[in-house]
Amino acid sequence: MQGQSTRSATKQALEMLIAPLSADEFFAEYYERKYYHNPVIHPEAADLLSMDRIDEVISDSELPPSSLSMAKSGEGLDPAEYTFESGVIDRGAVLDSYRDGATIILPQLHLADGKLYSFCLALEREFGARTQTNVYLTPPEAHGFGIHYDNHDVFVIQIAGAKQWEIYGDRDGLPFRGESFRKDHDDPGELKETFILQPGECLYVPRGTAHRAPNHGDEPSLHITVGILHQTWAEFMLEAVGEATLRIPEMRHSLPRKLFFDDGTERADHAAKFSRLMSEIAEKASFDATLAAFSGNFVKAQGPRLRGALTALSKGIDADDRLRVREHILYSFESAPAESGGAAETQIILSGSSIPLSAELAPQLRKKIAAGSFAKSEFNVSDAEELDDVIGTLVAYGLLLPE
């Protein structure tokens, strides 16, 4: 997997969350292990979001049902309290509920806000995982949720106001993505530490660490929660099993008719077959093939960044127009069997698309993209039509942008 982005921008995004720790210190001592309250106030956090921006989103933006939710005193509000019968958000009811002590939640606001989206993209290479934002606006003397843990790691960036954070115990073993906290079942443990998160401060909380964060003081609290949506070794191994079974015909057979109703006479035979198939999977599973599948899916799932592409395509791209690789966009050059069953061909994979490349163009394009900036006139190819089409497609899908 590759991605031509300014490493300084990526580094700055991570530094704002963890400085004065270095990346090596954070990943060695805290990542997936324990929470980290960053003692440094980062004024640049205010550039990501503001109360005025939230006011604009609520008053002027399109608000489909999934774009907003609310919580109060540890419980989620019934959507009927702030939506019309059609399910559309009732903006007046949202603000009236907020006035009455409810927290406004804007899930995945990065999909509608360029600054937040760029910030998320800058972090994805550092964590090798999708990232997202949820935004919380809590009125004074209130709290949205009770004690709970999350099933993904989070960074909290305090934008305005303050929150009193309470850190409790850790779950026994990191939770999988679907293992949410159950209030009447899971023990959050004893209160370990309490502190105030001030504007410009950041906090890291690993998945499985129980916490609560009521508002502090007489001002509304606005914070961004950046979620790190990890993929686990368990998911990787399941993909490896699926990939290996393509080369094990017996895995396509149905289960024995009496497997569930066996009185014990054939149990040893079933167990022996299970063990034999597991051994064959271990023998034929391919790390490289599994990695290629995960990598390709990761790249394709990254949301496109298209600002400026429409203008560039409308104007047209001349031979000497210089193009640059857009910041933080992931891409990958992969080999794939040709449709005719002949020699393998190269394709470039990026968000939403896989573009086949000729043997002549592929190595040149790989080199030019790695350099970060180029013009079409710098290529030496016999098929100018292919070059024009590939470059135009890379602009359309957001990898390239005119300088």
* Mean pLDDT, residues 310-327: 94
> Residue 4: its pLDDT value, please?
42
> Does residue 275 have a pLDDT over 50?
yes
> CATH top-level class for 295-402?
alpha beta
The 10 Å Cβ neighbour count of residue 56 is: 11
- Higher-pLDDT residue of 1, 243: 243
Q: What is the pLDDT of residue 302?
A: 85
Q: What percent of the chain has pLDDT over 70?
A: 95
Q: State the pLDDT at residue 5.
A: 43
Amino acid at 236: F
pTM for this structure? 0.85
> In this structure, which topology does domain 7-229 adopt according to CATH?
Jelly Rolls (2.60.120)
Distances 242 to 239, 281, 288, 298 between C-alpha atoms, Å: 5, 9, 14, 17
Question: Where is pLDDT greater, at 339 or 221?
Answer: 221
Average pLDDT of the segment spanning 268-285? 95
pLDDT at 263: 82
Instruction: Please state, in angstroms and rounded to a whole number, the distance separating the CA atoms of residues 374 and 325.
Output: 9
**What are the Cα distances from residue 362, in Å, to 353, 358, 390?**
16, 6, 10
The pLDDT, as a whole number, for residue 387 is 97
Of the candidates 202, 295, 284, the one whose C-alpha atom is nearest the C-alpha of residue 243 is 284
User: What radius of gyration, in Å, describes the C-alpha atoms of the chain?
Assistant: 25
Q: Which two tokens stand for residue 203?
A: 């906090």
Largest CA-CA distance found in the chain, in angstroms, rounded = 77
Q: Strand, helix or coil at 106?
A: strand
The per-residue pLDDT for range 1-49, each reduced to its tens digit, is: 554 444 455 578 999 999 999 999 999 999 999 999 998 999 999 999 9
The pLDDT value recorded for residue 344 is 66
